Chains A and B, each alone.
Chain A
């Protein structure tokens, strides 16, 4: 697993308090990992800080799953 994926996973596990095994590529933050809409906003904020990038609101809306996040950040960072 890539370095980006590891760092994203760490943030997701810490923020949502979920088990690492559940954070798979297709895992939806809201449907599978128990996030509410405000959690997803906070996750995006955490990603921005961790990777020193800016994720615009329209892009943030497309990040629904762990895989989406890793893909977006890998391309942006």
Chain B
């Protein structure tokens, strides 16, 4: 349905469950994809699976120099950078009263500050070509809060405000900036939950199940598409009705 032929997309956190699926969806719509992540082996596996139009761009997002270089590397590898998906994220959960400065700062740095820097780095080319799509992967907890995730919720809510501000600034250049806010999604991260924890979570979700990475990827694919040109500054909540925002 959506055609991204000739478009080049950089996906961070592509070694993870959701990021990998986002890359697959964009690639299936004929985009060239840049797969970024800290662990190179899963990126190579994914690139091999995708075949042509897939580039591996390992990057440690805790390293500011590597972050600054990434948009340029992606542009050189793919020829342009038209679609940026800021999907990479980390958690360092702890009760607020016990949260260390380091736990706070590392989550803000990787989830929020890196997103700022990658957006900034990608904008130059998008401004020049008068076309661009930025999709920042936020989280339902950025809107609802979650005990033990003061740092993560702050970063994810920060991404939303940042996306809206940037959306204002670059709308006249045909660049859209949106967020996707997943609820509970089946990934390696949620596999670690106990059955009791899972059933407690499911009572809060009207659809009665967790979401799949494919369902997040479909939302990203839509926002990346030419059809979504009139959608900017919004947050698309994909959470099974867990929070109707």
Contact = CB atoms under 8 A, between A and B. Distances in A.
Nearest to A36: B172
Interface residues of B, number: 7
Interface residues of A, number: 4
Contacts of A38: 127, 169-170, 172-173
A53 to B, nearest CB: 15
Contact of A45 (B128, B170, B172): B128
Nearest to A38: B169
A45 B124 contact: yes
A45 B127 CA distance: 10
Contacts of B169: 38
Nearest to B128: A45
A19 to B, nearest CB: 22
A74 B170 CA distance: 30
A6 interface: no
A45 B124 CA distance: 8
Contacts of B170: 38
Nearest to A48: B124
A37 B156 CA distance: 28
Interface of A: 38, 41-42, 45
Interface of B: 124, 127-128, 169-170, 172-173
Given A38-B169, A38-B173, A41-B127, 7 more contacts: A38-B127, A38-B170, A38-B172, A42-B127, A45-B124, A45-B127, A45-B128
